[in-house]
Amino acid sequence: MLFGGGRRAPAGPRKTDDTMHPLKVTLEDLYGGKTAKVVVPRSIYERDPSGPIADRAGNRYTKKIEREVLEVLVERGMKNGQRITFPGKGDQMPNCLPGDIVLVVDQLPHDTFQRRGSDLIMKREITLLEALTGARVVVEHLDGHKVFVSSKPGEIVAPDAVKQVADEGMPVYGHPHVFGVLFMQFEVKFPEKLELTEAMKRVLGGILPGPEEVPKLEAGMKAHELEEVRRGGVACIHSWRCLVAAPAVARFDCCASCGCGIRGQRCFCCRCGGGLHVPPALLGRCSGFG
């Protein structure tokens, strides 16, 4: 016996519990909005003298599953976890009002953009030449429109520098003509090796700032040539950038490319960890640095 005999509270019949269903949408859907048809099941209990389900009053019921077709409007700027409610379209228990169907927005991951509220975050790799002489990139946005982005004249783009582009983020929910900010984090790809003649070095020395005084090898000094950092026979995949400070934007548990498996700790090998505060005991687990 599953039901309470059909008794009603003084305020009227109670309402059947709502049913929740995920509504999987892409970031493109949330940027441009869309209308879609969604099929969801709903349970209805019908009086049936020979039914397998009985209430306390002895009434018998048969459970029937119906497929409800809903037309869903995904509005521009909706957020992950936001709810879309269809009143009275849910399950219906005996002597009860039908419940609601509630669709919960479930935003799928995107290959290029991450979303933070009404803002978007992306990474873009540029060459060292671009970082020194001016970065110019074209970003294909979520609705297909293209955005030309360039650094300011004379500006040097530092590794992991974060720049912003106004009004190129997500539309603001309820105000679809107002947009957030697009944040771009630049990764500078350094050449692994340069074959420079002395003439080329002099040209660079006339352009780039150098040390106030160039150290010289003097008698009695021990001379060494820098080598790649290695532990366990494996070179650190991020070379010197393992040791620099963490980037200004959100830090992640560990770089996917590192593969050290340290979650919830700052991996010394990862750029995202920036070489910060890893217990020595954990360093031995990292295939890249320690």
Q: Find how far residue 75's CA is from the centre of its chain.
A: 20
Q: Find how far residue 89's CA is from the centre of its chain.
A: 33
Residue 228 is predicted with a pLDDT of: 73
Q: Quote the tokens at residue 60.
A: 């018998």
Q: Quote the tokens at residue 214.
A: 């160039």
Q: What is the C-alpha R_g of the chain?
A: 30
Specify the 3-state DSSP secondary structure of 163: strand
Q: Quote the tokens at residue 38.
A: 């969604």
Indicate whether 270 pLDDT > 80: no
Each residue's pLDDT tens digit, 39-96: 999 999 988 888 888 888 888 999 999 999 999 999 999 999 999 999 999 999 988 8
Task: Tell me the whole-structure pTM to 2 decimals.
Answer: 0.71
Burial grade of 242 (CB within 10 A; 0-12, 13-18, 19 or more): buried
Residue 60 CA to residue 52 CA, distance in Å, equals 7
Specify the 3-state DSSP secondary structure of 10: coil
Q: Set out the domains of the chain in order of their start, with CATH numbers.
A: 19-107 (2.60.260.20), 114-189 (2.60.260.20), 232-290 (no CATH)
Residue 2 is predicted with a pLDDT of: 56
Specify the 3-state DSSP secondary structure of 282: helix
How far, in Å, are 19, 222, 258 from residue 116 at the CA level?
A: 28, 52, 25
Name every residue whose Cβ is closer than 8 Å to that of residue 27 and which is 6 or more positions away in sequence: 107, 108, 110, 113, 115, 142
Kindly indicate the confidence band of residue 7, based on its pLDDT and cuts at 50, 70 and 90.
Answer: low
Q: Quote the tokens at residue 92.
A: 């219906």
Each residue's pLDDT tens digit, 154-204: 999 999 999 999 999 999 999 999 999 999 999 999 998 899 999 998 999
Indicate whether 147 pLDDT > 90: yes
Average pLDDT for 99-112: 97
